[in-house]
């Protein structure tokens, strides 16, 4: 089934929206995710429905069919493998790989995908900590990590993943050592929306609430 890059982007966006809120997703949510106007989404959803990739119910929203989910998972696999390949093999910063992978994810062959995965020893997560779907395109496990903002002062946590949406935020986090695998102590949660954490050394870093919300962590039992 030959699909355009735009179609694949829609399927990927719907999949990720369904991860956050299982079930049908609204046209307005899809429009925000792909940065277009709702009428454009309505038109594209109609095309995807004709191809059997989404199921649309009037006034209830859209959800992926089994075929649509497999396409979305394949694109996500390409994207996350490419992100890791760019950082590990081509020395890209983790703040630069998202846009580059977005451009490449629709155009690599299955043989190229296989060789990249083999070169990286079949990795399970990308540079930002997100799980990479396997070659069987089964949905990956996302674990039980929760937002840093859901924890309390004094909690000790380990970073599982961070959002890759904002390169400036990623640069800031990297400068201060906040990345997957790092242990953090929540020092202070200010009433005006700043979350202060301490890493492995004595240095502390204050994160705006919207940034802390995109840092997913697991608690470490004391």
Give all domains of the chain, ordered by start, each with its CATH number. 5-64 (1.10.10.10), 82-142 (1.10.60.10), 146-219 (2.30.30.90)
- 46-72 tens-digit pLDDT: 999 999 999 999 888 999 999 999 999
CB 125 within 8 A of CB 140: no
Write the DSSP symbol of residue 25: B
How confident is the model at residue 176, as a pLDDT? 87
How far are the Cα atoms of 48, 75, 132, 149, 215 from residue 145, in angstroms, in the given order? 32, 23, 16, 12, 9
How far are the Cα atoms of 143, 155, 156 from residue 217, in angstroms, in the given order? 10, 11, 10
Comparing CA positions, the residue from 155, 153, 156, 145 lying closest to residue 214 is: 145
Q: Are strands 54-57 and 146-147 parallel, antiparallel or unpaired?
A: unpaired
- 70-91 tens-digit pLDDT: 999 999 999 999 999 999 999 9
- 168-202 tens-digit pLDDT: 999 989 888 899 999 999 999 998 889 999 986 67
* pTM for this prediction: 0.91
What is the CA 104 to chain-centroid distance, rounded? 16
């Amino acid at each position: 089934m030959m699909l355009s890059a735009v179609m694949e982007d829609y399927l990927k966006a719907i999949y990720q929206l369904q991860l956050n809120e299982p079930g049908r997703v609204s046209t307005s949510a899809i429009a925000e995710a792909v940065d277009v106007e709702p009428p454009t989404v309505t038109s594209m959803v109609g095309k995807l429905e004709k191809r059997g990739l989404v199921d649309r119910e009037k006034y209830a929203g859209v959800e992926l069919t089994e075929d649509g989910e497999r396409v979305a998972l394949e694109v996500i696999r390409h994207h996350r493998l490419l992100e890791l390949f760019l950082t590990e093999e081509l020395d890209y910063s983790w703040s630069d790989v998202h846009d580059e992978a977005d451009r490449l994810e629709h155009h690599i062959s299955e043989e190229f995908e296989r060789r990249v995965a083999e070169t990286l020893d079949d990795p399970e997560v990308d540079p930002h900590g997100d799980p990479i779907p396997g070659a069987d395109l089964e949905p990956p496990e996302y674990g039980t990590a929760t937002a840093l903002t859901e924890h309390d002062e004094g909690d000790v946590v380990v970073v599982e993943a961070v959002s890759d949406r904002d390169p400036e935020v990623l640069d800031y986090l990297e400068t201060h050592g906040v990345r997957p695998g790092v242990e953090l102590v929540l020092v202070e949660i200010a009433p005006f929306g700043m979350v202060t954490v301490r890493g492995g050394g004595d240095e502390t870093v204050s994160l705006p609430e919207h940034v802390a919300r995109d840092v997913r962590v697991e608690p470490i039992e004391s």
